[in-house]
Amino acid sequence: MISQKAKYALRAIMALAGTKEPVLIGDIAEQENIPKRFLEQILLDLKHQGLVMSRRGRIGGYFLVRPPEDITIGEVLRTIDGPLAPLPCLSKMAYRACDDCDDEATCRVKALFADVAEATRRALDQTTFADAIAKKHPLVRARR
């Protein structure tokens, strides 16, 4: 399950992916119904990871650093929520053995989730924000 923060991050990226111009944080917050203070922290996290940039001034605001076809859903989710794995022993970036597991090689719970985790990662890492825009994905709101 993804966090509310991750949902807001996805919506903010979608808002930025739909335009070539910088967008004011207040406009994103209003358009996407995201609390402005929470959005500020989210955009700061995305900025630290090199996904968005900001510009001050009359034509300032936030914008994507890379084109939407170069940013995946998985990348944004990892930035906000961390590893995508349902179990720590299946994580690619934050692996650790489960505390209650005696033998990882024969663990039936790990075996149950291994294929699901890989399929999920593959889907999230192959779906870009440009794909979402092209498919009129539900995250894409009609421009007002």
18 pLDDT band (50/70/90 cuts)?
confident
Contact 10, 73 (CB under 8 A): yes
Please tell me the least confidently modeled range out of 10-14, 96-100, 135-139: 135-139
CA separation for the pair 131, 135 (Å, rounded): 6
Question: What Å distances lie between residue 96 and 49, 75, 85, 90, 134, CA to CA?
Answer: 24, 21, 11, 8, 38
136 pLDDT band (50/70/90 cuts)?
low
Q: Which domains does the chain have, with CATH numbers?
A: 1-71+128-144 (1.10.10.10), 84-126 (no CATH)
Q: How many residues does the chain have?
A: 144
- How many Cα atoms sit within 13 Å of 124 on the Cβ side? 18
